[in-house]
Amino acid sequence: MSMVKESIDVDVPVRRAYNQWTQFEEFPTFMEGVEEVRQLDDQHCHWKTKVSGVRREFDTEIVDQLPDERISWRTVGGDTQQKGVVTFQPLDEAHTRVSLAMDFEPEGMVEQAGDKTGLLDLRIRGDLRRFKGYIEERGQESGGWRGRIKPGDSDTGATPSGM
């Protein structure tokens, strides 16, 4: 597996940044290559992506979610293998550091070449920049889910390793 780590500081309070991130169906607004995210329930989403001409569909499961601190996920079915965590660190009352760490398994020549050239790192960095613009320009979050999901609450109870 390959690892990507990126962070960005956003000019909004931690609660606002976290709440907006929980609006998974809005990810296509600021995530390049994400065509659709459909939230199936509190823990599961179905994704449709197209990156470098390669279409993928997969399901993710949230394995750990603590409001204003972190959301950890992993794939549980489909064309992609990944797991990751996004964390929210308050810098002060009006600023938050959003950090994303993701393990993924590049499949096929296109994805392997993109991994070796750092394309995914650039894509994630761009997604975080677009998230920053999205949340700062809106002035408020479009919604938020404040529920708690503990690692034992997931279907198999496993957490992403190294996260």
Give tens-digit pLDDT for 103-133.
Answer: 988 776 666 666 676 777 898 999 999 999 9
| Whether residue 37 has pLDDT greater than 50 | yes
- Residues 17-49, buried b or exposed e (16+ Cβ, 10 A)? bbbbbbbbebbbebbeebeebeeeeebbbebeb
Per DSSP bridges, beta strands 70-78 and 95-104 are unpaired
The structure tokens listed for 69 are 């601190």
The pLDDT value recorded for residue 115 is 63
Q: What is the mean pLDDT of the chain?
A: 89
Cβ atoms of 75 and 59 within 8 Å: the answer is yes
Report d(CA 159, CA 127) in Å as an integer.
24
Say which residue, 112 or 135, is predicted with more confidence. 135
